[in-house]
Amino acid sequence: GAVVSQHPSRVICKSGTSVKIECRSLDFQATTMFWYRQFPKQSLMLMATSNEGSKATYEQGVEKDKFLINHASLTLSTLTVTSAHPEDSSFYICSARRPATGVNTEAFFGQGTRLTVV
């Protein structure tokens, strides 16, 4: 079964509003989670690394004030798209690894969230 759960799976919002996406690790505690974004027919692009209890680390070109990440507990990371615009419409996916498994292990991905800004 799924070990990483993402909610909602689909959201439509009006331009200018904010949207929050949740990512939960279901059967393990994740000190680090990752947020990706995928445009149609393109690759998954890493946006940021979410660190429990500290600030997220953003990839180059990703606006940290636009994409707010909070990792307040060991099982939950949230991504808030603030003042959303149509160009923010995309598929957002989170991932996490089981703890204490080292860098060369697979990550588990959530189901993804399809955001449409109208």
Smallest distance, another protein to C-beta of residue 117, A: 17
Task: Select the residue interacting with another protein from 49, 70, 82, 89 (CB under 8 A).
Answer: 49
End-to-end CA distance of the chain: 34
Give CA–CA dist 10/8, Å, rounded.
5
> With binding defined as CB under 8 A, does residue 108 bind another protein?
yes
Show the binding pattern over residues 83-102: x = contacts another protein (CB under 8 A), - = does not. Answer: --------x-x-x-x-----
Identify any residues that bridge with 4 across adjacent strands, giving them in sequence order: 25
**Tokens found for residue 67:** 């994409």
Identify any residues that bridge with 86 across adjacent strands, giving them in sequence order: none
> With binding defined as CB under 8 A, does residue 62 bind another protein?
no
SS3 assignment, position 108: strand
> With binding defined as CB under 8 A, does residue 21 bind another protein?
no
Beta strands at 10-13 and 113-117: parallel, antiparallel or unpaired: parallel
**What does the binding site for another protein look like in residue numbers (CB under 8 A)?**
4, 6, 9-10, 32, 34, 36, 41-46, 49, 91, 93, 95, 97, 103-104, 106-112, 114
